[in-house]
Amino acid sequence: MIKLHHLNKSRSKRIIWLLEELGVDYELVAYQRDATTFLAPESLKAVHPLGKSPVLEASGYTIAESGAITEYLIQTYGADKLMPAPDTADYIDYLQWMHFAESSAALPLLLKIFVKMDGAETRFIGGYADAETAKVISYVNDRLEGKSYLVGNSLSGADIMMSFIAELVGQNGEFDKYPNIAKYYQQLMSHASFKKSMQIEAEHDR
């Protein structure tokens, strides 16, 4: 049985969505952030030394990176779903978004959140984070012009990885500024598996 170690208000809700979309049986082990520090609990360190979530246990493997978990689950249980055929241009795009979500996109967005949480005056980090975030989000918005999904015409692992970024845009109140991302997020939310994952996440978020 697959086991997903899930932390509330974290990127692991993407993996709930993926498991629901794949229709794979799994057990969810829920963890709660500290109400004051917002940090993950120490108990997650017993699961993986980095003490983060998502962590997936499957077939004797422990996997602790969202991108690796997504690639693994789709390759293992996808059966041509959620992933374009290799040797196609779409597959290249799929790989790019798979990595983009947690590298080029996540870095400036998280930097911006850190600077805001810190509250101290910065010489350039604050401005850099704002400029890079705008650049990255504009790029995503441009790429979504006239499209319902990032890759091809159907839901793929790329959308599941990037849903976190689209959600952050909404949380920052910037859907008006990036209308293609707003429409895209509505499209993602129309999936029954996504609605179910939001419900499961809410149930485990005290």
Which residues between 47 and 76 bind its own copies (CB under 8 A)? Answer: 49-50, 52, 60-61, 63-68, 71-72, 75
Name beta bridge partners: 182. none
Under rule CB under 8 A, how many of the chain's residues touch its own copies? 45
Which tokens in the block code for residue 74? 């789709």
Render 37-85 in DSSP notation, one character per residue: T-PPPGGGGGT-TT--S-EEEETTEEE--HHHHHHHHHHHH-TTSSSPP
Cβ closest to its own copies, residue 72 vs residue 149 = 72
Cβ closest to its own copies, residue 40 vs residue 182 = 40
Among 110, 148, 204, 205, binds its own copies (CB under 8 A): 110
Judged by CB under 8 A, the stretch of 13-21, 28-36, 91-99, 167-175 that binds its own copies is 91-99
Q: What share of the chain is helix, strand, coil (3-state, %, to 5)?
A: 55, 10, 40
Cβ closest to its own copies, residue 117 vs residue 192 = 117
Name beta bridge partners: 6. 30
Cα dihedral: 5, 9, 12, 14 (round 10) = 140
Chain residues that interact with its own copies, rule: CB under 8 A = 49-50, 52, 60-61, 63-68, 71-72, 75, 86, 89, 92, 95-96, 98-100, 102-104, 106-107, 110-111, 114-115, 117-125, 128, 135-136, 139, 142
